[in-house]
Structure 1
Amino acid sequence: MNRAYCRRNAFSVISRVEIKGASWALTPDIGLNPGLVAIIGARGCGKTALADMIALGCDAFPGKYNGQSFLSRANADSYLAGAEVSVSWQDGGDPVLRPLDHHPRNEWDSYPRARYLSQQFVDELCSSAGMTDALLGEIERVIFEAHPLPDRNGAGAATIR
């Protein structure tokens, strides 16, 4: 991602994620690269857990827990009692602090600062034969929203199909 773009939009770039009050978190303080687009790691290393916690800290976690999500499974086993996630933004504003053992915010003034495509959501979109219009639409939206209009060189969702 263009570094100048990241600086101009520092309010929308996550710089740090902290997991507080969770003795099970082996790396409770994680600095993030401003161009982060994926979380990669071995099976069982906590990729989904980290993604779920970031989504919760961005008020972007789905309105109801998916039974397969980390937050849902860990909540059922009481691992999240008293734990919180703190998400800091590159613009230096106040970090957002959310309890991990609480359902996602559904308040009228809650606005998601990120878009979260859970693994289950993507699996569902990919379940039918071939790429679906819904999956292609989500991929295009994520890609094109990451780049300012002048930097797209006239490209848009309709021009690549």
Structure 2
Amino acid sequence: MNATKLELEDERRKVVSLEFQLASEQNKLEDAKNSYTVANERFEEAMTNNEDLRAQWVKKKKESDLKITRLEKELEDDRAKAMEEKARLEKELEEEKTKASSERTVYPDLYVAAMEQFKGSADFQMAIDAAVASNLAREGAGGAGPSERSLGAGVKMK
């Protein structure tokens, strides 16, 4: 009976040892489950945050794309306006050049015609005589008078 008792005692120790091992393994399993739960919650939170961030990014990108499109359109409109204004100004410049060229050819004829008209005028002749006399007086006094050109050197006096 002693041998049986010893066997039973030995088996009981093995069972107690196995129960401790089982309890230890169950604690490890419970810790692993808790770690898994926490990790899974963090993963789901990260995925939710990621989705939120992605949605924000998509919204910002759409807004930026719309703004870029609007600015490109404005730039295109401004370029078109600038080209129209440039064309208008070039046309005006060309018209002014043509007008000035035309006036240059007409004015000498008008000048000659006006001078011819005034040559016969007594007032004009008196003004020329006074200017010539004044010039001669200054030159005689040692001063420098107006040059012949400024007195109408190209005009013949009667």
What is the TM-score when the length of structure 2 is the normalising length?
0.14
Higher relative contact order (CA 8 A, sep 6+): 1
Greater per-residue helix proportion: 2
TM-score norm. by structure 1 comes to 0.14
Larger radius of gyration: 2
